Amino acid sequence: MAPKNALYPGSFDPVTSGHINIIERGAQLFDEVVVAVAVNSAKKPLFTIEERVDLLKASLTHLTNVKVVSFDGLLVDYLKNNDLHFVIRGLRAISDFEYEFQIAHLNKRLDKEMDTVFMMTSEEYFYVSSSIVRELASFGGDIHGLVPRPVEEALIKKFKKIG
Amino acid sequence: MAPKNALYPGSFDPVTSGHINIIERGAQLFDEVVVAVAVNSAKKPLFTIEERVDLLKASLTHLTNVKVVSFDGLLVDYLKNNDLHFVIRGLRAISDFEYEFQIAHLNKRLDKEMDTVFMMTSEEYFYVSSSIVRELASFGGDIHGLVPRPVEEALIKKFKKIG
Amino acid sequence: MAPKNALYPGSFDPVTSGHINIIERGAQLFDEVVVAVAVNSAKKPLFTIEERVDLLKASLTHLTNVKVVSFDGLLVDYLKNNDLHFVIRGLRAISDFEYEFQIAHLNKRLDKEMDTVFMMTSEEYFYVSSSIVRELASFGGDIHGLVPRPVEEALIKKFKKIG
Amino acid sequence: MAPKNALYPGSFDPVTSGHINIIERGAQLFDEVVVAVAVNSAKKPLFTIEERVDLLKASLTHLTNVKVVSFDGLLVDYLKNNDLHFVIRGLRAISDFEYEFQIAHLNKRLDKEMDTVFMMTSEEYFYVSSSIVRELASFGGDIHGLVPRPVEEALIKKFKKIG
Amino acid sequence: MAPKNALYPGSFDPVTSGHINIIERGAQLFDEVVVAVAVNSAKKPLFTIEERVDLLKASLTHLTNVKVVSFDGLLVDYLKNNDLHFVIRGLRAISDFEYEFQIAHLNKRLDKEMDTVFMMTSEEYFYVSSSIVRELASFGGDIHGLVPRPVEEALIKKFKKIG
Amino acid sequence: MAPKNALYPGSFDPVTSGHINIIERGAQLFDEVVVAVAVNSAKKPLFTIEERVDLLKASLTHLTNVKVVSFDGLLVDYLKNNDLHFVIRGLRAISDFEYEFQIAHLNKRLDKEMDTVFMMTSEEYFYVSSSIVRELASFGGDIHGLVPRPVEEALIKKFKKIG
């Protein structure tokens, strides 16, 4: 059987414990998981693409079948160019669901060979998002457990500089 | 690598084109898909368990890595006894989402080794459900395309007898 | 221009002030509104089809371009046989929305010539449904304003008999 | 200041750990919480009203400002007759939300003096409901932690008899 | 009977195949449909008001009872000044539904003579929105079929210039 | 019994009749309600913090157990520093519900001693929000009844200056 690989795309600004939970479970399901940091020029990110890739790598050293990349442009183009047929997405809430539903159908229309696989975010992380973590850290709130250890340290350092 | 197999449980009373679409896509994702007809003594089904298993088999002859079984009791027990770790579920709508979310978390609590993988129902089938098909067929409505050919024939025959 | 007529189908067991509000507004939009009481053999209704038709007629005497009928079988068949192309549905809540969405798409698939028009239930009636009215009346609760006057009288009479 | 008391109504067939969590938090908020088991003649309950009241009492011995009663008829009538002005409801999901929203508005219309206070179910219990517990127990599934200890024992006993 | 005309307001930046589908169906329902491009100074549009009006006109040449205008200010004021009583809105998803519900009620409060009529977006277009089309085109993705032909050409031209 | 006090946080830019309705009902439930205007440096508010506090005070003169403050930083820190254990939040719609659910759980994680109490917005105000009021007032629309009298005057004055 040919190996089954999947892409897990996102902004990861920064990666949270909820993302790590999805990656760990995706790594059980697929032969390889490619975590792909999307270069989105529109938003002002807290961490640069390089920092986000490095934080993901530092947080995923316990998984041997996961690699971290960055990508620019359309998701479907990246999938075609890298012979990937599956996308993993985490679902947390109703509004996630609707948006993800639309994107999954659009992507399938753009490339009939691809498919999207959804996993439910663990209940202990369903209230955790990158934006909530950023806001919490900016006020000096306790983020322990909401993000992997390397991200916790990076956030504290980042906001010491800014503050 | 060990083969990755998954269970796709349901009532399938009867199987619809939407179910077939999920099974076809699941068969791309997993090495084997076990379609499992749940024995649910509470509801009065239109088709018997045996009829439902037969209709599924007749509708899935084009897939070589799919098998059809029936099961009684708890899903997690069936998974454990058959060394299966993944469950496939189709998502069609918001109310599906909520119920599936609860069941997926409950199942993970009952067996930490299992996980649920969700696939979005194709937009051409999102309004199709077994109950809508049953009602439509009972009034002599046109069900062509909503169900696989063997189910179409079985429904017409069934309602000729009843009517 | 040909007159534009529409069907407003439902169980109306019994008609509520929310239904009347939709019918009044539908009668502004269409040249004629046909209110159609669905014969649904499955459920045990509180009022018979004849009683429901009569209560609708008694509650709609102020509207000259509305008529009340009962129908059995598929909605799309009734539409075709009566040269009607539009269906009116009231939307009250998210779960309404999903179900209505599925039915509207299914009906359009069964008859491409038909279309469904949705109107939002007025905020003063959004918590009113036939089943809540029935339950409230069965306990002797105050239903004044939730249903038209003829229905109020019929409910009080009905539950005096039963109780 | 006059003491603030609240009613927490439900079927409690049986009470779950999610209900207990809401009652514990309600007992922090109010001077007294009256847990009220609704007598609902329509459904076939697993436990009798008396059993449900007894299981609630056995599960709430650690709270001094909570009492357990049963009630028949309309909620608003019980509130008026007992000079209670607040109702507590737990929210678990979107469909809960909609139904609760309608009931809360209906009740406020029936009695302007009353108000409904909502508390979010703890994330560890959001997938727990009485019906899921009943089904799980009927198949001999592990219900430990999903219900208070006295309910766990009662369920095991109940299904030994039935099975 | 007096002719029944309706306003279909929106940003249309740019008009999509989903919008065209709603306009075509609205033109069956009403004697005339006025498509109104809202002048919204807050957002930075991709196309100017004039371009959006021209693209709509070029995409609607097959409909004889539709006209295209632009408007500034409050919707209810435009309706009053032009003796229009109906507004058409397309519904695509749950979040649409909620927002539209609020706006429809607010508008009815501002002008009791007006009413909003909702039509469900066809399932083939439910994942299509102006913002998704803009993003897709900006990356050189395939937008064929998602927008009318004149818009497809305008988008390709626009992004050649920008890129 | 110790007095039970609660915080009602928000942007209140400006306070609406919907907010006032929640505050009035919160003042029935709690011994004291502290209305807290959040200092949010990110958004460009219409009214300054001082103006918002003043408008709230001017709109709440009829309530003796309500005070108005402003606060900066994390909600949980403000609660701890002021020995407050309850937060009041109004629920208006599904999207509110999801966001509020996440925030309530996050806050409970940050401080186990606190709890969030939800009240449903009255149906006459469920379509009213600060942003809709701001937009309506900016176009000279009729805001009478949507906001308390002092806010109505302030909005008219504000937009005379801007316009």
Q: Does residue F78 carry a pLDDT above 90? A: yes
Question: Can you tell me the mean pLDDT for F56-74?
Answer: 96
Compute the half-sphere exposure of residue C107: CA atoms within 13 Å on the CB side of its CA.
24
Confidence of residue B151 (pLDDT cuts 50, 70, 90): very high
Is pTM beyond 0.80? Reply is yes
Whether residue D57 contacts residue D32, with contact meaning beta carbons closer than 8 Å, is answered with: no
Chain D residues near residue C128 by CB distance under 8 angstroms: 106
pLDDT score, position D40: 75
Q: Does residue F150 carry a pLDDT above 80? A: yes
pLDDT score, position A143: 94
| Inter-chain contacts counted by CB atoms under 8 A, chains B and C | 30
Q: Do F116 and D116 touch (CB under 8 A)?
A: no
pLDDT score, position A41: 63
D93 at the B interface (CB within 8 A)?
A: yes
Of A98-102, B85-89, D107-111, give the lowest mean pLDDT range: A98-102
B77 at the E interface (CB within 8 A)?
A: no
Closest Cα of chain F to A93: distance in Å?
Answer: 7
pLDDT score, position F102: 83
Confidence of residue C162 (pLDDT cuts 50, 70, 90): low
Of A91-105, E20-34, E69-83, give the lowest mean pLDDT range: A91-105
Q: Mean pLDDT across chain B, nearest whole number? A: 91
The more confident residue out of A52 and C123 is: A52
Q: Does residue A163 carry a pLDDT above 60? A: no
CATH 3.40.50.620 for the F5-162 domain, yes or no: yes
Question: Can you tell me the mean pLDDT for C128-136?
Answer: 93
Indicate the SS3 state at residue D159. Answer: helix
* φ, ψ for residue D58, nearest 5 deg: -65, -25
| C18's tokens | 């929310």
Closest Cα of chain F to C123: distance in Å?
Answer: 6
Q: Does residue F42 carry a pLDDT above 80? A: no
Q: Mean pLDDT across chain C, nearest whole number? A: 91
How many Å apart are CA E88 and CA E68, to the nearest integer? 14
% of residues, chain F, pLDDT over 90: 72
Q: Do A141 and F76 touch (CB under 8 A)?
A: yes
Q: Do E25 and C97 touch (CB under 8 A)?
A: no
pLDDT score, position D150: 98
How many Å apart are CA C114 and CA C107, to the nearest integer? 8
Chain A residues near residue E128 by CB distance under 8 angstroms: 106
Q: Mean pLDDT across chain E, nearest whole number? A: 91
Q: Do A102 and E139 touch (CB under 8 A)?
A: no
The residues of chain D scoring below 50 in pLDDT are none
Neighbours of C48 (CB within 10 A): 10
How many Å apart are CA A95 and CA A93, to the nearest integer? 6
Using only C-alpha atoms, chain B has a radius of gyration, in whole angstroms, of 16
Confidence of residue F123 (pLDDT cuts 50, 70, 90): confident
D101 at the F interface (CB within 8 A)?
A: yes
pLDDT score, position D98: 76
Q: Does residue C44 carry a pLDDT above 80? A: yes
Phi-psi region of D83 (alpha: psi -120 to 50; beta: other; left: phi over 0): left
Side by side, which strands form the sheet with E66-71?
C66-71, C32-38, C5-10, C86-91, C115-120, E115-120, E86-91, E5-10, E32-38, E66-71
Of B28-32, B34-38, B99-103, D56-60, give the lowest mean pLDDT range: B99-103
Question: Can you tell me the mean pLDDT for E68-97?
Answer: 90
F162 at the C interface (CB within 8 A)?
A: no
Confidence of residue F106 (pLDDT cuts 50, 70, 90): confident
Q: Do F123 and D117 touch (CB under 8 A)?
A: no
Of A72-76, B29-33, E105-109, give the lowest mean pLDDT range: E105-109
A94 at the D interface (CB within 8 A)?
A: yes
Q: Give CA angle at B144 (B141, B149), nearest 5°.
A: 130
Compute the half-sphere exposure of residue A120: CA atoms within 13 Å on the CB side of its CA.
28
E83 at the B interface (CB within 8 A)?
A: no
pLDDT score, position F33: 98
Q: Do B127 and C101 touch (CB under 8 A)?
A: yes
Q: Does residue C30 carry a pLDDT above 80? A: yes
Of D109-113, E154-158, F93-97, give the lowest mean pLDDT range: F93-97
% of residues, chain C, pLDDT over 70: 96
E63 at the A interface (CB within 8 A)?
A: no
Q: Do E126 and B123 touch (CB under 8 A)?
A: yes
**DSSP string spanning D120-136?**
EPPGGGTT--HHHHHHH
pLDDT score, position B61: 98
Confidence of residue E98 (pLDDT cuts 50, 70, 90): confident
- Which residues make beta-bridge pairs with D34? D7, D67
Side by side, which strands form the sheet with D115-120?
D66-71, D32-38, D5-10, D86-91, D115-120, F115-120, F86-91, F5-10, F32-38, F66-71
Chain E residues near residue F127 by CB distance under 8 angstroms: 101-103, 105-106, 109
Describe chain C by its helix, strand, coil percentages, rounded to 5: 45, 20, 35
Of A66-75, C12-21, C121-130, give the lowest mean pLDDT range: C121-130
pLDDT score, position E82: 95
| D124's tokens | 């560890």
pLDDT score, position D55: 98
Helix (H), strand (E) at residue D103: helix D94-110
Report the Cα–Cα distance between both ends of chain A, in Å, rounded: 54
Phi-psi region of A83 (alpha: psi -120 to 50; beta: other; left: phi over 0): left
* φ, ψ for residue E93, nearest 5 deg: -155, 170
- Which residues make beta-bridge pairs with F109? none
DSSP state, residue E121: P
Q: Does residue B41 carry a pLDDT above 80? A: no
Confidence of residue E17 (pLDDT cuts 50, 70, 90): very high
Helix (H), strand (E) at residue A75: helix A75-81
pLDDT score, position C41: 63
Cis amide bond preceding A14, omega within 30 = yes
Report the Cα–Cα distance between both ends of chain F, in Å, rounded: 54
Q: Does residue B49 carry a pLDDT above 90? A: yes
| C136's tokens | 């409230």
Closest Cα of chain A to B119: distance in Å?
Answer: 5
pLDDT score, position F130: 94
How many Å apart are CA F93 and CA C154, to the nearest integer? 35
* φ, ψ for residue F12, nearest 5 deg: 50, 55
By C-alpha distance, the chain E residue nearest B125 is: E123
Q: Does residue B67 carry a pLDDT above 90? A: yes
Q: Does residue C50 carry a pLDDT above 70? A: yes
Confidence of residue E102 (pLDDT cuts 50, 70, 90): confident
Question: Can you tell me the mean pLDDT for E116-134?
Answer: 90
CB pairs under 8 A, 24+ apart, for B1-4?
Answer: B1/A1, B1/A3, B1/A31, B3/A1, B3/B31, B3/B32, B4/A4, B4/A29, B4/B30, B4/B31, B4/B85, B4/B86
pLDDT score, position C1: 58
* Closest listed residue to residue D37, CA positions, set D12, D63, D15, D19: D12
Helices (H), chain F: 17-29, 49-59, 75-81, 94-110, 130-138, 149-162
Neighbours of B32 (CB within 10 A): 16
Q: What is the ipTM score, two decimals?
A: 0.91
**Best to test chain C binding among E1, E21, E99, E101 (most C CBs inside 10 Å):** E101
Name the residues of C annotated as catalytic: 19, 43, 92, 130
A142 at the B interface (CB within 8 A)?
A: no
pLDDT tens for A30-48 read: 999 999 999 876 678 999 9
Cis amide bond preceding D9, omega within 30 = no
Question: Can you tell me the mean pLDDT for B85-104?
Answer: 84
pLDDT score, position B1: 57
**DSSP string spanning A103-146?**
HHHHHHHH-TT-EEEEEEPPGGGTT--HHHHHHHHHTT---BTT
% of residues, chain F, pLDDT over 70: 96
pLDDT tens for E39-70 read: 876 678 999 999 999 999 999 999 999 999 99
Cis amide bond preceding A148, omega within 30 = no
Confidence of residue A162 (pLDDT cuts 50, 70, 90): low
pLDDT score, position E86: 97
pLDDT score, position E116: 95
